[in-house]
Amino acid sequence: MLVSIVVPVYNEAQVLPIFIESLLKATKGWSEDTEITFVDDGSTDETAEVVKAHIDKVPSKIRLIRLSKNYGQAIALSAGLDNAKGDIVLTIDGDMEFDPHVLATFKQKIIEGFDVVSGVRVSKKASFFRKTCSFFVNRLGKCLTGLRLKDLSCPVNGFSRSVVERLKGRQELSFLKIRAAKLTKKVAEIEINQAQRPNGKSRYDFIRLFSLFIEFVISYLRHTFQYIMVFGLIIIFLSIFSGILYLFFRIIGLISPSATLQVIVFLAFFTGWQSVILGFLGEYLLRIHGLLSERPVYKIKEVIEK
């Protein structure tokens, strides 16, 4: 059995030596064969050189995939999954916020028959702002997806080969764990401790967290534009019906002329049409996005292995 460990990295040259040594120690006693794939997401520091140095030391275990530019963590992770060969695929960040030794527990859960093993961060030494954002994202995710995962964005996870194959080539992997969990009912959760980064600071600033929030909402409200069109059609129908009733009662003399009622009916009618047009355009753009998503969204600069 082969276990693949995918590690997306970006400008982690300072902490990578510590992480790699820790990861090698953590996997040393495993009975399964292992491959460790580092995906360099267009780093501008010495990240690639650090990984190359360890490839020379442990050529049979480590390889490096260098992307042509910085695509973001989600795409880097996608590249790693597309190239993972293992029967079990584990993911972890290379910033030492998580102890690589926890991967053994994730591996064991997959061996026991689970398809997705989700990490749940506990005792997080994060800022109040980040904890608050994480809380709301998790709450929103549960509402939109129906999944009961406790932590939707923890980067430490495990996947079976069957799930990875079904995820391969999909370009919308910003919320990989959610998409994977929706493919199977065999999902387990493991609580893990999150520590402070040994060097540097978290790259999840306000702008990054906000963009992830927007992307999440767009990704999981696929039927929103259809609902908008239906809402618009209902408003149009009600405005026409109200207009007919107004004219009928006006003709038979039950009500007196009212400019306010006329304005309300006309506004409702045009609001309904605007909603229908907005829904149509949104649905059209989503279908174009679906076609564009079939194109490769990352380019591999080089693959280094021995």
Question: What's the pLDDT at 218?
Answer: 62
Inside any domain, residue 299:
no
Q: How many domains does the chain have?
A: 2
Question: What's the pLDDT at 15?
Answer: 92
Strand partners, 274: none
Residues 233 and 216 in one domain: no
Q: How far apart are CA 103 and CA 157, in angstroms?
A: 8
Q: How far apart are CA 304 and CA 188, in angstroms?
A: 34
Question: What's the pLDDT at 271?
Answer: 92
Beta-sheet strands, E only, within the chain? 2-9, 33-40, 62-67, 88-91, 116-122, 157-160, 187-193, 300-304
Residues 158 and 200 in one domain: yes
Residues 179 and 61 in one domain: yes
Directed axis angle between helix 16-27 and helix 103-111, to 10°?
A: 40
Residues 47 and 110 in one domain: yes
Which residue among 220, 255, 272 closes a domain? 220
Residues 32 and 168 in one domain: yes
Question: What's the pLDDT at 255?
Answer: 78
Question: What's the pLDDT at 217?
Answer: 63
Inside any domain, residue 9:
yes
Give the pLDDT means over successive 10-residue stretches in the chain (306 positions). Answer: 94 92 92 93 92 84 92 86 92 91 95 92 66 69 70 87 83 68 88 75 57 62 77 93 88 81 89 90 75 69 88
Which residue among 176, 199, 220 closes a domain? 220
Residues 16 and 150 in one domain: yes
Note the Cα 54 to chain centre separation in Å: 30
Question: What's the pLDDT at 174?
Answer: 58
Residues 214 and 74 in one domain: yes
CB contact at 8 A, 204 and 10: no
Residues 164 and 276 in one domain: no
CB contact at 8 A, 70 and 23: no
User: How far is the CA of 51 from the CAs of 41, 89, 93, 110, in angstroms?
Assistant: 13, 20, 14, 27
Which of 70, 32, 16, 52 minimizes the C-alpha distance to 297?
Answer: 70
Residues 206 and 261 in one domain: no
Inside any domain, residue 306:
no
CB contact at 8 A, 67 and 74: no
End-to-end CA gap in the chain? 20
Range of the domain at 277: 224-292
One-letter amino acid at 97 equals E
Question: What's the pLDDT at 285?
Answer: 79
Note the Cα 69 to chain centre separation in Å: 20
CB contact at 8 A, 153 and 134: yes
Question: What's the pLDDT at 4?
Answer: 95
Inside any domain, residue 304:
no
Question: What's the pLDDT at 216?
Answer: 64
Q: CATH number, domain at 156?
A: 3.90.550.10
Inside any domain, residue 300:
no
Inside any domain, residue 301:
no
Question: What's the pLDDT at 214?
Answer: 63
Question: What's the pLDDT at 257?
Answer: 77
Residues 189 and 254 in one domain: no
Residues 56 and 85 in one domain: yes
Which residue among 220, 252, 274 closes a domain? 220
Residues 192 and 252 in one domain: no
Directed axis angle between helix 224-251 and helix 259-292, to 10°?
A: 160
Inside any domain, residue 305:
no
Inside any domain, residue 297:
no
